[in-house]
Structure 1
Amino acid sequence: MGNRKENSTNMLNEKVILECELMYAICMIGGRWKLLILCKLENGKLRFSELRRHIPEITERMLALQLRELEKDGLVKRTVYAEVPPRVDYELTEISEELVPVWRQLEVWAVKHKNLVQV
């Protein structure tokens, strides 16, 4: 991949996101699967296959991509054990544990307003 131009739309959007704290937060947990993955990890460590069982609608490829992004952003900790066969666990980091009350409040809001809007 080449370098991005300083004035490209992608670079300009990234600057706006970094300047607005709310936009930054939404980008960290946004998308269809990230928040759901974090919620599933709320009760402790899970292996990839366990996460896949808890979220049967997600493809393996998408789960791997989302976990990689969450790890890169510091929201998920990935632990690899030197065993045969190799074992990998995923768990919330301290940063993402601070989000638990936030997503609980979003859940309350969703229950209250879900039926008011037709999807």
Structure 2
Amino acid sequence: MALKVRKNHSPEPPEPCMLTHCMAVISGAWAANVIWSLRGGPRRFNELRGDIPPISAKVLSTRLSELEGRGVLSRNVQPTSPPSVEYALTDLGAELVPALQAIVDVGHRLKGRDHA
């Protein structure tokens, strides 16, 4: 016997769906970690690799390029010898930090519940 499909009583998402749009901005492996690491200020590539030990150089490079393209972070070449590059959050990137903080807070509560 087939189950009856129930009506979804959740409100319809606005068009276009802002949740989907926002999640696309921070999508990709380690993207949220990169944003999280930059919340304290500009970081260089190797500093970010140290902040996120499991990330490979290739994935970090890809994620930095994607996040820059989405307007989440800026890439600034420093006039040093040899030249160095610093990455920093843009205003949009900074707006994402409280949302990521809320996710971290829920994660702590879930972890506490799982160990209880």
User: Same fold by TM-score, threshold 0.5 exceeded?
Assistant: yes
Tell me how far 1:113 sits from its aligned partner: 2.2
Tell me which residue corresponds to 2:88: 91
Tell me which residue corresponds to 1:28: 25
Tell me which residue corresponds to 1:40: 37
**Distance in structure 1 (CA, Å) of the matches to 2:105 and 2:96:** 14
Unaligned ranges ≥5, structure 1: 1-17
Equivalent in 101, 104, 111 of residue 104 of structure 1: 101
Tell me which residue corresponds to 2:65: 68
The DSSP-based 3-state class of the residue aligned with 2:53 is coil
Aligned length: 100
Tell me which residue corresponds to 2:7: none
Equivalent in 16, 19, 22 of residue 16 of structure 2: 19
TM-score normalised by structure 1 residue count: 0.77
TM-score normalised by structure 2 residue count: 0.78
Q: Deviation above 6 Å: which 4+ runs of structure 1? A: none
Tell me which residue corresponds to 2:3: none
Tell me how far 1:27 sits from its aligned partner: 1.2
**Distance in structure 2 (CA, Å) of the matches to 1:36 and 1:42:** 10
User: For the pair shown, which has the larger CA radius of gyration, 1 or 2?
Assistant: 2
**Distance in structure 2 (CA, Å) of the matches to 1:40 and 1:100:** 10
Tell me how far 1:116 sits from its aligned partner: 5.8
Tell me how far 1:84 sits from its aligned partner: 2.8
Tell me how far 1:77 sits from its aligned partner: 0.6
